[in-house]
Amino acid sequence: MQKITTLLFDLDGTLVDSAPDLAAAVNKTLAVLQRDTFDEQQIRTWVGNGAKVLIERALSGSQQIDPELDSALANDALGLFLKHYQQDVCVYSKLYAGVATTLQQLKNAGFTLAIVTNKPEKFIQPILAKLQIAEFFCSSLGGDSLPEKKPSPQPLLHICQQLNVAVENTLMIGDSHNDILAAKAANMQSIGLTYGYNYGEDINKHQPDWVFDNFADIVSVVMK
């Protein structure tokens, strides 16, 4: 194993449980459109592929997007959703157990930390600031920062170039197959976390280099 100097983190489902605020914004959107609303647990299963996919799943009432879903309706709904979410982006969202103390430990140990998420860029800093972890990260990329998002390797490779760090010295940490597939496509090592938003699918299926149930266990890999 090459010496790891840089850690890339997904946001939703990895650092932050944002499902309560996402669910509230989804339901406000559906209510405006006079569509059926859903409970938070159902909406949790739709989170993880970005805002567009989330709202398309909500309009379809299923993880499988209706192939006949009206694209104009979906675009209108996305605009409404983003408006509602921006108004209340971090009301009920919270950090997962061990996140703040572990980030502090990693930062103190000299690691470079960055965010690579499929969440739109404009939401990242308000969430990090509200949850008081912005200071730990030197850079961030959202799902709309580049032409491609995870599972494309482009965001991971781009941030390595931006930070002037080799891929082999970088580790991707996330909760969904998008994170692991992006890392594999970039020839980057990865850690899969079991507690986030992976649509009920076992993160082991995509064979990350390590799998942990607890965020704090990251330290056991990078600080040997």
Catalytic residues: 10
Q: How far apart are CA 107 and CA 138, in angstroms?
A: 10
CA angle 127, 177, 66 (to 5 degrees): 90
For the sheet containing 6-9, what is the strand order? Answer: 139-141, 112-116, 6-9, 170-174, 189-193, 210-212
| Contact predicate 47/111, CB 8 Å | no
Q: How far apart are CA 208 and CA 172, in angstroms?
A: 9
Burial class from Cβ neighbours inside 10 Å (0-12, 13-18, 19+) for residue 13 reads: buried
SS3 93: coil
